[in-house]
Structure 1
């Protein structure tokens, strides 16, 4: 009988903690601008730091925040990354 009670107790605790974690995840969800992900996808992904930022994600966040220009990605210049970033920023401007 001890095994049955222990199993039931663990099931109830698991359900309670799972529900609490699901609620907390929704309540404290961090909203991120979708343009950051779009810009990260077109960057070369070298994380070289040539733009002056810690990596491609930091550069993408700086561009969306207006702290960096579109043409700072040196490895992406031959493939036209700056023009693609400009298009993303113009097409998806927040209202």
Structure 2
């Protein structure tokens, strides 16, 4: 099992995009193209916040949240998803 730090370092952005499309797209706009209204912030808006870091996103994604679906993310999945989100930063 990878440590959190190792998982963050080994991110797979394409896998993160696949996870976003499968698990997050029902509530978030997960790509760069304009989409219909969603219930949660677009990933582009999250990525645009200068205060958001990869480590912060990974930790957030691994915690249970009442407003998010309870998807069983591993540390590697969370790192991949965080890497994808931050890849949308311009």
TM-score normalised by length of structure 2: 0.32
* Richer in helix (by share): 1
Report the structure number with the largest CA radius of gyration.
1
Task: Point out which structure has higher relative CO (alpha carbons under 8 A, 6+ apart).
Answer: 2
The TM-score, its normalising length taken from structure 1, stands at 0.31
